[in-house]
Amino acid sequence: MKHFLIKLIFRLLDGWKTSKTIDEDRMRKWLADVYWRKEFQDYITKRDMEILQAMGIGVTREDYIRLVGQRIELGRLLSVAKRESEKEDSKMREKQRSAKVK
């Protein structure tokens, strides 16, 4: 029964996700802009420390798995933001080079 409910929830969420339009370009631009901001870096560091502290005090297996997932998600957010920032930087450098050539 538990697995049936989980599958049902995922099907509902998948239908909801496809009905919403996500502006991928705007999201990428936001990630590129926010990566170098001190506030973003501070948030990532603070949240990572909170997760590590929660793991360190001893939690149940389910909570531990959830915390590991949160930490992975946080790391992925940071790496995607860095990648998008590097892409934006390379585009800017390419535009500057092409402007100098002209």
Is residue 15 included in any domain, yes or no? no
pLDDT at res. 83:
95
Q: Phi then psi for 27, rounded to 5 degrees?
A: -65, -45
Q: How far apart are CA 22 and CA 27, in angstroms?
A: 8
**pLDDT (tens digit per residue) in 39-80:** 999 999 999 999 999 999 988 999 999 999 999 999 999 999
Is residue 42 included in any domain, yes or no? yes
pLDDT at res. 34:
94
Supply 27's token pair. Answer: 């999201």
Is residue 49 included in any domain, yes or no? yes
Is residue 17 included in any domain, yes or no? no
**Residues spanned by the domain of 39:** 22-101
Return the higher-pLDDT residue of 72 and 93. 72
What is the count of structural domains for the chain?
1
Is residue 54 included in any domain, yes or no? yes
Q: Which of 26-30, 47-51, 53-57, 93-97 has the lowest mean pLDDT?
A: 93-97
For 71, other C-beta atoms within 10 Å of its C-beta total 16
Is residue 13 included in any domain, yes or no? no
